[in-house]
Amino acid sequence: MTNKILLWAMLCLVVSTAGAQEFQRFASMYKNLDDTKKGGLTFRFESLGFFQNNEFLGKFVDGYTLTGALVRPKLSYSPVDGLYVEAGAHLIKYNGKDRLVNAVPWFSARYRFSDRFAVVTGNLDQNKQHGLLEQLWEPERMYTDKPEAGLQFIYSGNKLNAQTWISWEQFIEKNDPYQEHFTYGFTADGNLFENSALAVKFPVNLLFYHKGGEININPNGERPRVQTHANALAGWEIEMKTGASVKSVNLNAYWLGYKAITAESNTLPFDKGHAYLLEASAKTKNSKISLSYWNVFQFIAPKGRLLYQSVSDSDPSYTQPDRSMISAKYFWQKNIAKDARVAFQVEAFRDISTGDFSYGYGFFLLMNSDFLLKAF
């Protein structure tokens, strides 16, 4: 008990002196579809070269390396004000593999009803991971998974930014031998107070992951279990704007929850759980450094980063219901041309419960360019 009290005291000191903010990974690579010029046909080329090495110790996640490139060539067109359409391909290739690991068509349509409200169909706007923390949404999905597709509503206001979406990940037809998969999400970021020196925000997240279906079959004659898992987040974020070489200092605190909605058919070890996150960060023109404390009890997030959970990915039979972790992260990025950025990140994790130390580092080169083909 004494050790826990001392740990909390040290963390409170760190938070009070350093501030806190979510460590933003390099997750905002997509150009806004709204950037397409009215009446113009544009060729848009998006690319991301990545090298991410994760040296994870302990029983939860095996270490691995992701290295390769994501390329997305697209044609973008805006026939009238507020309507934007683009079509192309989403391609991912890992270095050392001769074939593409992900090659799917890309189609997205966006209609802006007003300056604040828009709807997206087809491939979704995934910029900034929908505003989700990495504990709920693994940033590496950007270069491991197929792009999200479905329906999305986005609201951008002075006091509130919010979006809700549904992403269909596995479509089924009658008698298919597998289940449908989809994710529903809602994020909102309320601006409670802001002036030239201080900003206070209140974020709220909901995320549901569903596996089910009524027209599919199981080869053994039994209907597969329907599963729905839910995660929620509420917290507050304080940004203190300094205006010096350190642009801002941040203080964040979050509560996160987990619940198996279909508990009777749940195949995971726990039906409900929760977690707490404290973060402190400081931001300069090109970099951000952060410290965080993470505490969980029976916490699971099907779409979140595996290192933060109570169930092992390496050995699903191994669980650790009560976990605590501290982490330090540094991120640097720089614009090297009009449409090009380079970035580097390093992160370290210490599992307080087991003493295991893990770390990771990554290098990224991002290039996004538009070429006007024809103006109508």
Q: Provide mean pLDDT across the span 75-83.
A: 88
Any idea which of 33-37, 333-337, 338-342, 343-347 has the lowest mean pLDDT? 33-37
How sure is the predictor about 170, in pLDDT bands with cuts at 50, 70 and 90?
confident
Could you tell me the two tokens for 94? 């890992």
What is the pTM assigned to this prediction? 0.86
For residue 360, the model assigns a pLDDT of 96
Looking at the chain, the whole-number percentage of residues with pLDDT higher than 90 is 62
For residue 16, the model assigns a pLDDT of 32
Phi, psi of 314, deg, nearest 5: -65, -40
For residue 222, the model assigns a pLDDT of 66
Is pLDDT of 19 > 50? no
- One-letter amino acid at 93 equals K
How sure is the predictor about 5, in pLDDT bands with cuts at 50, 70 and 90?
very low
Q: Provide mean pLDDT across the span 220-239.
A: 86
Could you tell me the two tokens for 337? 């041309």
For residue 296, the model assigns a pLDDT of 96
Between the ranges 4-13, 176-185, 269-278, where is the mean pLDDT highest? 269-278
For residue 302, the model assigns a pLDDT of 94
C-alpha 361/C-alpha 325 separation (Å) is 18
C-alpha 302/C-alpha 56 separation (Å) is 19
> From 3.10.310, 2.130.10, 2.40.160, 3.40.50, which CATH number describes the 2-40+106-356 domain?
2.40.160
C-alpha 31/C-alpha 44 separation (Å) is 9
Looking at the chain, the whole-number percentage of residues with pLDDT higher than 70 is 88
Mean per-residue pLDDT over the chain, rounded:
86
C-alpha 135/C-alpha 308 separation (Å) is 6
Domain ranges of the chain: 2-40+106-356
Q: Provide mean pLDDT across the span 367-376.
A: 86
Are 228 and 262 in contact, with CB atoms under 8 Å apart?
A: yes
Rg (CA), the chain: 22
Any idea which of 86-95, 258-267, 363-372 has the lowest mean pLDDT? 258-267
For residue 20, the model assigns a pLDDT of 26
Q: Provide mean pLDDT across the span 31-53.
A: 80
For residue 32, the model assigns a pLDDT of 64
Is pLDDT of 124 > 70? yes
For residue 372, the model assigns a pLDDT of 87
Is pLDDT of 51 > 90? yes
Mapping DSSP onto H, E and C, the string for the chain reads: CHHHHHHHHHHHHHHHHHCCCCCCCCCCCCCCHHHCCECEEEEEEEEEEEEEEEECCCCCCCCEEEEEEEEEEEEEEECCCCEEEEEEEEEEEECCCCCCCEEEEEEEEEEECCCCEEEEEEECCCHHHHHCCCCCCCHHHHHCCCCCEEEEEEEECCCEEEEEEEEEEECCCCCCCCCEEEEEEEEEEEEEEECCCEEEEEEEEEEEEEEECCCCCCCCCCCCCCEEEEEEEEEEEEEEECCCCCCEEEEEEEEEEEEECCHHHCCCCCCEEEEEEEEEEEECCCEEEEEEEEEEECCCCCCCCHHHCCECCCCCCCECCEEEEEEEEEEEEEEEECCEEEEEEEEEEEECCCCCEEEEEEEEEEEEEEEEEEEC
Give CA torsion, residues 292, 56, 67, 123, to 10 deg: -60
pLDDT, one tens digit per residue, over 240-299 is 998 778 899 999 999 999 999 986 667 888 999 999 999 999 999 889 999 999 999 999
For residue 263, the model assigns a pLDDT of 67
For residue 180, the model assigns a pLDDT of 86
pLDDT, one tens digit per residue, over 285-336 is 889 999 999 999 999 999 999 999 999 999 989 999 999 999 999 999 998 8
* More reliable by pLDDT, 199 or 33: 199
